[in-house]
Structure 1
Amino acid sequence: MRLRKASALAAGVLALSLAATACGGGGDDDKISVGIKYDQPGLGLKTPDGDFVGFDVDVATYIAGELGYEPDQIDFVESPSGDRETMLDRGDVDFIVASYSITDERKEQVDFAGPYFVAHQDLLIRDGESVPNEEAIADLTLCSVGGSTSAANLAEQYPGAGLEELGTYSECLTGLENETVDALTTDDSILAGYAAQEQNQGKFTLAGLSLSDEYYGVGIPKGETERRDDINAAITKMVDDGAWQEAVDEHFGPAGHEVEPAPELTETS
């Protein structure tokens, strides 16, 4: 008799638990975790008051909305360049929108949706200085972030150049301002955001080189094809309804940075 009572009690608890889950009662489905950058003005920046702003933040918020999540249900998680694949593999985040260039090497570990943006690698230098051509890069000491495609491109294409790899672009910017490095190298979209910041105006300028084409994708765990398709649909809708261009104008317009039209989706299978 005790066994039957215990079983009945367990069944009742299970039924209540299922009912609470069906009503959205506090389960993991109530929130979605999205990886972004915290230190990239114009793309992904955490402000002193704890808000998140930038083009990537707007893209991530739009995608999450199409997946059924309100802005207050989004948990933005900092995703350093060198940690993104690991974070997706461990399930730390559901997807990543963090100036995440699509490469064959990365596609061995994670999948992508998109691309949703195209950028070009350039150099940020001190105002009044110049880099006349690509050949001059070999004589410079540059700074970039470890694990970024920019650092990998530089090491491969300009092995004679000095390269300092740090944890964040903000650290590289400090080195540029203190003249311990000659230039910060990464995507022009990121560099334009730094140059446009109020505290940096008049200090830095872009060299105007186009060293690579970087197609930003939304990183997702390997094999999540349904999630990829849903995100691709959200990106397409964002472009079609004008929200993509509005975000471009808001975040890159003040820097005078010209952005190419939204690229064609390639990560579809």
Structure 2
Amino acid sequence: MFDEDARYVNIGVKVDQPGLASYSKDPTNPEGFEVQLARSVAAQFQQRQARLINITSQTRESFLLENQAQMVIASYSMTDPRREFVDMIGPYLRSNTGIMVRSDYQGSDDVHSFHGADVCTAAGTTSVDLIKSELGQEPRTVPSFKDCNDMLSNREVSAVITDKIILEGFVQADPEFKLLNSEFGSDGYYGIAIPKGHPEECAAISKWLKTYIDSPEWRIHFSTYFPGVNPEDYSVGSALVDAKTRCTAEPLAPSAGEQ
């Protein structure tokens, strides 16, 4: 998975999600919980450094399959369809689905109050199907949540719907938005994705991650990037890592990656 003399691990992150990963302070150096996680994971492999690569929700799998990234840490929910193409280690966070609106919104908190209204989410996310199921309608989909937020700001949509932890970061970064006091769907679990066929590296990441998420360090990092948010609402335990991690010995067959 890594060249012997390589100093870096190429890790895909989404840099438009404050709290998780964004250029909120330094335009050349992203920061956030997932950025911290990426740097910590890279250091487990002979103290390599993380080389962060900008990706979107739609390009997470393709960057791994095309060897443009060696890992992806990008609010990547662990699902069986995704495990057909990549190995996923985790979780390191969990989140239900939330609703973000403009701060002047005075309507109901119930998700069904948005039936018939235009709502936005990012293409390639699990939120797309969830919105179809809950509201019986197609959401507006765009490449990044920044595009959704721009549409919300311009009153082109009534709400942005996605994982609540992502929305927590947006409302902290921009007082123009607020998070409704409701959530729906089932918890999604974020995992670290790597190409199939690297069981030693997969096991090493899993072993480190179990120690990390049960340590005070996880809560310190969470509270650093999500101040005022209750860590217990999004925390996971090491038993879940054992239950949900999948490490495969064989690489993905070329025909599977071409589908």
- 1:148 and 2:125 matched: yes
Structure with greater Cα Rg? 1
For residues 201 and 182 of structure 2, the distance between their equivalents in structure 1, rounded to whole angstroms, comes to 36
Whether contact under 8 Å (1:252, 1:258) holds in the other structure is: no
- Pick from 35, 38, 49: which aligns with 1:60? 38
Amino acid at match of 1:224: H
Q: What are the within-5 Å matches in structure 2 for residues 85-104 of structure 1?
A: 85-104=61-80
Point out the more displaced range, 136-145 or 174-183: 136-145
**Any residues of structure 2 matched to 1:67-216 within 5 Å, and which?**
67-70=45-48, 73-129=49-105, 130-160=107-137, 162-197=138-173, 200-201=174-175, 203-212=176-185, 213-216=187-190
Q: Deviations over 1:87-134 (max 9, x none)?
A: 111111111110000111111111100111101111101123233323
Which amino acid counterpart does residue 117 of structure 1 have in structure 2?
L
Deviation digits for residues 213-241 of structure 1, max 9, x if unmatched? Answer: 11000011123222211111121222244
Structure 1 length-normalised TM: 0.82
Q: Which residue of 1 aligns with 2:235?
A: 261
Superposed displacement of residue 208, structure 1 = 2.4
The number of aligned residues is 238
CA RMSD of aligned residues (A): 2.0
Q: Cα 1:256–1:116, aligned 2, differ >3 Å: closer, same or farther?
A: closer
Say if 2:200 is the partner of 1:234.
no
The answer (yes or no) to whether the contact 2:89–2:202 under 8 Å persists in 1 is: yes
Distance of 1:181 and 1:246 partners within structure 2: 35
**Aligned-partner residue type, residue 179 of structure 2:** L
Say whether 1:50 aligns with 2:28: yes
In the alignment, which residue of structure 1 is the partner of 2:218?
244
1:16 aligns to what? none
3-state DSSP class of the match of 1:139?
coil
| Aligned residues of 2:92 and 2:235 also touching (Cα < 8 A) | no
Identity of aligned residues (%): 26
Of 146-155 and 111-120, more deviation after overlay is shown by 146-155
Residue in 1 that maps onto 2:250: none
In structure 2, the gaps of 5 or more residues are 248-259
Distance in structure 2 (CA, Å) of the matches to 1:112 and 1:120: 19
| TM-aligned CA deviation for residue 209 of structure 1 | 2.4
Question: Which amino acid is 2:122 matched to?
Answer: V
Structure 1 stretches of at least 4 aligned residues deviating more than 6 Å after TM superposition: none
**Which sections of structure 1, spanning at least 5 residues, go unmatched?**
1-21
8 Å CA contact retained: 2:100, 2:167: yes
Assess, with a 3 A threshold, how the Cα gap between structure 1 residues 37 and 239 changes in structure 2: closer, same or farther.
same
2: CA distance, partners of 1:127 / 1:255 = 18
Against the structure 1 CA distance between its residues 38 and 260, is the aligned structure 2 distance closer, same or farther, given a 3 Å change threshold? closer
Aligned counterparts of 2:16 and 2:73: Cα–Cα separation in 1? 13
Q: Which has the higher helix share?
A: 1
- Secondary structure in 2 matching 1:193: helix
TM-score, normalised to structure 2's length?
0.85
